[in-house]
Structure 1
């Protein structure tokens, strides 16, 4: 089972980008709810396993401190209405265009017993997708320890960095390069840069959905029989069928076939 936690750094996400990200998260939740409950024939239960978490970082205007807030916690069965409510209520005024925001300490707060490790489910794989437009120049000792401990707990951390277009902001390319070099020794961490484009977000939704669906259901066992023998007297194979993201094409479900056994009579 894979549990995905989205962490949005609202301090660095410009309003247009945040708006598109919110629509992408809503689309992901809709696809996940629909595909899980109806992807395989003969499925008795319509309950959807809750495998999505949502947190965000913001500047507390009263204390002037950087805070982490949990917007949606996976608790058992996925509640599409509550997730929509959490996404739609993300603060729209947290963007800090003239400040250099740093995410190092905040990542350590996410990777803690108070947040990620307290969520339901033991001995499962977890993935943190950290969405930001700003990264620290390097990784300090606290963050290094948090990321290393995360690897021991089967937690991977993906940094999705959306490059800024505004000319008045400092170019973050060098920071991204330095940050990538700082985490290069950590097998559980990766960093990808993107441009704020709807086609990029659409591709990310498909990728994230596939992560959620990879171990979602038991595969459908099928036997394929051929007119001519494949090898000696063997004329059939057994395989697993998995549903893909797009459920219907010309009234037929798409599937990918993986051969795992050849049976010889």
Structure 2
């Protein structure tokens, strides 16, 4: 039996199954990246809801795991060398999960060095561009920003989102996934944000999604995956 009692976060969110990977998250685009990867890889995990309504992310227990007070974060009782590992930042977590020995069968991160770095390139594209830009667009289009009389901030992020969609549309032309036939952590990183842009932020018309048919095609293929559907539901979090 794994002992996680030395990690302060388990005092606020006790581990019912301490032998399983512990996920601290919410069903946001960044949060579901990790639950989708876990479902795709078939890795046992226990999900804990970090409620923004009660500001759980600022609690001493959560900050003991992630000083940056953001979800998702994980605590893996079977880290490298069998030593528990705490990890945060969704991109880092995706790489870590894809490299776990139990995950090698699915190959969410190619073993070939050149393809591996190309996959990481698209992962960083999401982290540095897709997520931040679409998140800001969501604020100005759906949330408080929609009440601002000055629409220049919204239009700035809408224009940059359209540019990013154009990059993705070109990349996906003639490809099944971002890396061709191989489904990878790059897809798991990018498409929750596209899904959120259209189905939560309701910004499809604003960004002219009809101009990006390849993005829409691959998004639907992504959403059709059973593991994606399970991961989007975030067991224990919704």
**The structure with more helix, counted as a fraction of residues:** 2
**The structure with more strand, counted as a fraction of residues:** 1
Q: TM-score range by the shorter chain?
A: under 0.3
TM-score w.r.t. structure 1 length? 0.25
TM-score w.r.t. structure 2 length? 0.27
* The structure with more radius of gyration: 1
Point out which structure has higher relative CO (alpha carbons under 8 A, 6+ apart): 2
